[in-house]
Amino acid sequence: MQDSWTQRWDERYSKETFAYGEKPNDYLKQQIEMLPAGTILFPAEGEGRNAVFAAVRGWQVSAFDISREGKKKAQLLAAKNHVEIDYQLVILDELTYTYGQFDAIALIYAHFPATIKSAYHRKLNHLLRKGGILIFEAFSKKHLEYIARNEKVGGPKETDMLFSVEEIRADFPDYDIIELTEKEIELNEGEFHSGTGSVIRFTGRKK
């Protein structure tokens, strides 16, 4: 991953407060609460709010990110909640997880650079077992209209880093779709996700 990309996230996560708050994403919370605890992977997990929530719920949690500052904050949040998470400071290509290792994978605002995002999705797909659940929420391509009205809602400003329903269908073709929708939502997730935005939500079961 480019040094400038890493530096951007280290800078954002270096503050004392949590950039996106300490509470889990609403959609992730809804989905996790309907599932039996098992093994779960959180790619691009940042400061750990979602991973820690899953650990509190009894999941065996693995997470990774490129930001050293994000990992520090995640470890602090885990300690505060008296749980442990396996948090690796790596890029996806360096992971040593095995094929079908996880019962669930949660991609929550994991906006990878446009040139690699679909390839990353395919690689992550291999780590989910047959019958496993993928949980996804990220900004839609329509979200640029919302940023223009309110930059505090956050999200990438490059169209190719945003998502469409069609892209998700193409990236994850071997899933029974439980939910796949584009939706306007209200975000109240710390300093950088505040306001009305447009997201893609996807929950699928791997065939």
Residue 175's pLDDT is 98
pLDDT in tens, 43-76: 999 999 999 999 999 999 999 999 999 999 999 9
pTM of the predicted model as reported, rounded to 2 decimal places: 0.96
In a domain, 132, yes or no: yes
Instruction: Tell whether the model's pLDDT for residue 130 goes beyond 80.
Output: yes
In whole angstroms, give the CA distance from residue 193 to residue 138: 12
In a domain, 34, yes or no: yes
Q: How far is CA 36 from CA 72, 107, 131, 153, in A?
A: 28, 18, 13, 32
In a domain, 148, yes or no: no
Contact between 73 and 52 under an 8 Å Cβ cutoff? The reply is no
Residue 95's pLDDT is 87
CATH of the domain at 178: 3.40.50.150
Residue 136 has phi, psi (to 5 degrees) of: -135, 130
Q: Count the domains in the chain.
A: 1
In a domain, 85, yes or no: yes
In a domain, 78, yes or no: yes
Question: Encoding tokens for residue 159?
Answer: 């169209």
In a domain, 44, yes or no: yes
Q: Which domain holds residue 8?
A: 3-139+164-184+201-206
Closest-CA residue to 126 (of 93, 94, 100): 100
In a domain, 153, yes or no: no
Residue 2's pLDDT is 58
Contact between 73 and 48 under an 8 Å Cβ cutoff? The reply is yes
In a domain, 191, yes or no: no
In whole angstroms, give the CA distance from residue 140 to residue 128: 24
Lowest mean pLDDT among 90-99, 129-138, 186-195, 196-205: 90-99
pLDDT in tens, 85-106: 999 999 888 889 999 999 999 9
Instruction: Tell whether the model's pLDDT for residue 114 goes beyond 90.
Output: no
Contact between 94 and 120 under an 8 Å Cβ cutoff? The reply is no
Average pLDDT over residues 143-151: 97
